[in-house]
A and B are shown apart, each in its own frame.
Chain A
Amino acid sequence: MTSTSDLTVPRKPGLFSRLPVIHQLRQSVGLQRGMLVAGLVITGVFILTAIFAPLLAPYGFSQLRDESGRFGSQQPPSGEHLFGTTVGGYDVLSRVLWGAQTAIFVIVVAVVLSIFAGVVLGLVSGYFGGWLDRVLVVVSDAVYAFPSLLLAIVMSIVISGGRSDLIGGVLAAAISITVVFIPQYFRVIRAETVRIKAEAYVESARVLGASNSRIMFRHVLRNATRTLPLIFTLNASEAILTLAGLGFVGFGIEPTAAAEWGYDLNKALSDVTSGIWWTSLFPGLAIVLVVLGITLVGESLNDLADPRLRGRRRVAQASGLVAETSVVPGGTLVAGPGGLDGLESNATHPDTGLETRP
């Protein structure tokens, strides 16, 4: 945590500058800072849009008419409908804005659920080892290798039979995505647990007679979670893509229940052939922007945590603190959108971090 260039004891930085993202922001330089800032801005706008969608959107997401009558279907962009209307007669702008809310809801539910399940499974598996560990690892490897969208489709058939109301639909989508993500958290936490349980302080705790659960949750878990924020950002972007993919193949949330970008794109499929561009362009751009923003943040955080990828100038500074926090050696996209295989594969491929997501 200290600078290695001098021997004076540095002042402990204030709480503010030690906060996760703030710290990295101060640490970054040049291009990397640009990417991080751009990502943070986009993500911020996305979150604000989601929160204030009811105020920002000119109409409701399922509104078909106002005082002056029906909106009409496939109307080109105009003063009343800045982004035009869809084939179903909804206002495109409103649905794009409301869609942010659905997206964030699904991200939060999916990621919280998968962190919960993944962390508990990873802890138990890594800590106790044995046959349970073997079985869990084989299962998670198998699930991990499988195309995530297909898995989500199967889950979504199981949960909701395909279509549902707001809560049911969002939950179904979120749980489907959760199943895809659990193996990732499982792997990361398990690998960390296996490493940590060999540390001296865990031995000490055991000598002092601490129970297994106390060691697991107090000594191991607290030290194993530092990589979670990073995986969180990576998974958040994948969650949006999976949600949109589910919506696109027809497992979306009903338009009357919530606005969902993938569903809108599915309905816009036939519009494109007749040259109607506004129904597909705007929801699509929304997806791209949000995923881009979140990925930029995740990428930058990962690069900053990896001394080999950090900007050259300040490599020496603060590297001790972060050297080990790189989840994905070699960059997140390399280890794959959602793929964190790099972690466990270090044994086979010393410094490449090369495996990618299914």
Chain B
Amino acid sequence: MTTVATTPAVPAGRPAGRKSKPAGGGIGRYLLIRFLLIFPTIFILVSMVFWLMRATGDPITAALGGRLGPEQLAERIHAAGYDRPILVQYVEYLGQIFTGNFGTTISTNRPVSEVLLAYGVATAELAFYGLLVAFIVGIPLGMVAAYFRDKGQDALLRVFAILCYATPVFFSGLLFKLVFAVWLNVLPVAGRATTGSELEMQLLTNPTGLYTIDAIQVAFQAGNTDVLIDVLQHAVLPSLALGLLTAGVFLRLVRTNVIGTLGTDYVDAARSRGVSEFRLVSKHAYRPALIPIITVIGLQIALLLGGAVLTETTFEWKGLGFVLIEFIKARDYVAVQGIVALLAVIVALSNFIVDIIAAIIDPRVRY
């Protein structure tokens, strides 16, 4: 390594880091490379989780250690194949993941994939509402902050953004619960819906598990909008708690980018034509500032999933995060491993999708 290549800090780790072609080297090639990169990411995360969890011993002993006699335990371990060489188990596990088989939970004896499906929809719903709140709060406020740059309003909004980040979801959740559910008594304390509504939704011929959609179905079929209102009321506080966490990030992002675009030539040109300052922010500078947000959403999905674990625990929202904690408490490490592996797949996939969208919108994003 004596001749030092003067490579700038290219986005390494992406094999296209060689930059053999100038930017815009064909979107097809970029798509392919980006797609192939999903696999090492998933592979690394899944392997990491496997080895880390196995470092604690076999799952059967962890789950049933105190409750079964040594012979019974050994029998169960043998039946599940945990007494084989760990490498064999590892390869087998990778093969299973590849075919979508995440194992069977020890505590409830259900296939992990079934658990994932049943609870994943709840998390998806929560994450969707959270993102919605983040958009509605973050983007306009970011534009306002950019418009009032370096003035009092800007300072206030920036402190607000930091506060959004500094407040743990569970603390804001607790405060919301205290104020809106207990003191003002206008919103439900916890859960995804009241038992009555849940029963009504289960009567549907094909419930999706996404309560909003199910409740709309009920509203159409039975003309009963109470269920929909109930479901939406339950969603308000958790979505706010989760959404505000991300809203601060969006606010900052929009502010910085709008300020950046406000300094460009075409904005100067528009200004010289007499376009009002407000219109400059809301029309000219704002659109290009949105592109980076798309890129950020991909990374926000990981943040949202992490936040969802805490939000779900706070609001007893029966999603993946909620059951994850339940399984951890039950020391059911097969289930934990399955859920974490699935989340790894989701994160990798969503990053891929977001990168693709960003590449389609912004031609500069090619390697």
Residues on A lying within 8 angstroms of B by beta carbon are 30-31, 34-35, 127-130, 133-134, 137-143, 145-150, 153-155, 157-158, 161-162, 190-191, 194-195, 197-198, 202-203, 206, 237, 241, 244-245, 248-250, 262, 265-266, 268-269, 272-275, 277, 280-281, 284, 287-288, 291-292, 295-296, 299, 308-309, 311-312, 330-331, 333-334, 336-337, 339, 341, 343-358
Closest to A333 in B: B252
Knowing A149-B310, A197-B4, A295-B165, the reply to whether A157 touches B299 (Cβ < 8 A) is no
- Chain B: minimal CB distance from A192 (Å): 8
Secondary structure of the B contact surface, majority rule: helix
Report the minimal beta-carbon distance from B309 to chain A, rounded to whole angstroms: 6
B274 beta carbon closer than 8 Å to chain A: no
Given A130-B1, A143-B48, 7 other A-B residues pairs in contact with their CB atoms under 8 A: A34-B155, A197-B4, A198-B7, A291-B166, A330-B253, A347-B10, A348-B365
User: Are A158 and B56 within 8 A (Cβ)?
Assistant: yes
B328 within 8 Å of A (CB atoms): yes
For B163, list chain A residues within 8 Å (CB).
288, 292
What CA separation (Å) do A354 and B261 show in the bound complex? Answer: 14
**CB pair A154 B365 closer than 8 Å:** no
Would A288 and B171 count as touching, CB distance under 8 A? yes
A334 touches B249 (CB 8 A): yes
Given contacts A147-B305, A352-B260, contact A157 B9 (CB under 8 A): no
Whether B365 contacts A157 by the Cβ 8 Å rule is no
Of the listed residues A195, A202, A357, the one surrounded by the most CB atoms of chain B closer than 10 A to its CB is A357
Determine, out of B86-94, B205-213, B223-231, B342-350, the stretch whose residues face the partner at the interface: B342-350
Among A133, A206, A272, which residue has its beta carbon within 8 angstroms of that of B2? A206
Question: What are 19 residue pairs bridging A and B, where the CB atoms are less than 8 Å apart in the complex?
Answer: A35-B158, A129-B1, A137-B13, A143-B48, A145-B41, A145-B347, A147-B305, A154-B340, A206-B2, A237-B166, A241-B166, A272-B178, A288-B168, A292-B166, A311-B150, A337-B165, A356-B300, A356-B303, A358-B302
A44 to B346, CA, bound (A): 41
Give A206 to B3 CA distance when docked, in angstroms.
10
Asked whether any CB of chain A lies closer than 8 Å to the CB of B77, the reply is no
Contact of B310 among A146, A154, A249, A348 (CB under 8 A): A249
- Is the pair A138, B44 in contact by a Cβ cutoff of 8 Å? yes
Q: Is the CB of B178 within 8 A of A287?
A: no
Answer whether A141 and B13 are a contact pair too, CB < 8 Å, given A154-B340, A248-B170, A280-B171. Answer: yes
> B347 contacts which of A137, A287, A333, A358 (Cβ < 8 Å)?
A358
Question: CB distance A295 to B162 under 8 Å?
Answer: yes
Find B9's partner among A154, A195, A250, A284 (CB 8 Å cutoff). A195
Residues of the B chain whose Cβ atoms lie less than 8 Å from the Cβ of A331:
252, 256
Those 5 A-B pairs whose CB atoms lie nearest each other, nearest first:
A358-B302, A147-B306, A354-B292, A137-B13, A284-B171
Give which listed residue, B175, B328, B344, contacts A153 with CB less than 8 A. B328
Whether the pair B171, A154 counts as a contact (CB closer than 8 A) is: no
Tell yes or no: B273 within 8 A of A by CB: no
Of A134, A245, A291, A356, which is in contact with the most chain B CB atoms at under 10 Å from its CB? A356
CB distance from A72 to the nearest CB of B (A): 22
B174 at the binding interface (Cβ < 8 Å): yes
Q: Which of B6, B11, B365 contacts A344 (CB 8 A)?
A: B11
Chain B residues whose CB sits within 8 angstroms of the CB of A281 once the complex forms: 175
Contact, CB under 8 Å: B299 / A358: yes
A344 to chain B: which residues have CB within 8 Å? Answer: 9-12
Report if B189 contacts A (CB, 8 A).
Answer: yes
> Are the C-beta atoms of B165 and A348 separated by less than 8 Å?
no
Report chain B residues within 8 Å CB of A311. Answer: 150
Name the A residues within 8 Å of B324 (CB-CB): 150
Residues of B within 8 A of A268 (CB): 174
Q: Flag whether B101 is at the interface (Cβ < 8 A).
A: no
Chain B residues contacting A244 (CB-CB under 8 Å) are: 168, 170
Q: When the two chains form the complex, which single residue of B55, B292, B348 contacts A349, counting CB atoms closer than 8 Å?
A: B292
Identify A333's interface contact among B161, B183, B292, B344, CB under 8 A: B161
By the criterion CB–CB under 8 Å, are B1 and A128 in contact? yes
Cα distance, A207 to B167, chains bound together (Å): 53
Report A-chain residues with C-beta under 8 Å of the C-beta of B7. 194, 198
In the bound complex, residues from chain B placing their C-beta under 8 Å from that of A237 are: 166
Chain B positions 164-203 with a Cβ under 8 Å from a chain A Cβ: 165-168, 170-171, 174-175, 177-178, 181-183, 189-190
Shortest CB-to-CB span from B248 to chain A, Å, is 6
Q: Known interface pairs A155-B52, A347-B10. Does A142 touch B303 (Cβ–Cβ under 8 Å)?
A: no
Chain A residues with Cβ under 8 A from B150's Cβ?
A: 30-31, 311-312
Q: Which residues of A contact B183 (CB under 8 A)?
A: 275
Q: B75 to nearest A CB, angstroms? A: 24
Residue B236, interface by CB 8 Å: no
Chain B residues with CB under 8 A of A133 = 12
Is A147 a contact partner of B347 (Cβ separation < 8 A)?
Answer: yes
Asked if B6 and A198 sit within 8 Å, CB to CB, the answer is yes
Q: CB distance A139 to B171 under 8 Å?
A: no
Q: Is B295 an interface residue (CB 8 A)?
A: yes
B295:A354 contact, CB within 8 angstroms: yes
**Which residues of B have CB within 8 Å of A130?**
1
Take A150-B309, A355-B299 as given contacts and tell me if A349 and B364 are in contact as well, using a CB distance cutoff of 8 Å. Answer: yes
Residue on A nearest B10 in the bound complex, by CB: A347
Asked if B49 lies at the interface with its beta carbon under 8 angstroms from chain A, I say yes
Residue of A197, A248, A250, A350 ringed by the most chain B CB atoms within 10 A: A248
B13 to chain A, nearest CB (A): 4
Measured between beta carbons, the chain B residues less than 8 angstroms from A157 are: 52-53, 56, 328, 333, 336
Known: A143-B48, A198-B4. A333 touches B249 (CB 8 A): yes
The answer, among A140, A265, A269, for a CB contact under 8 Å with B13, is: A140
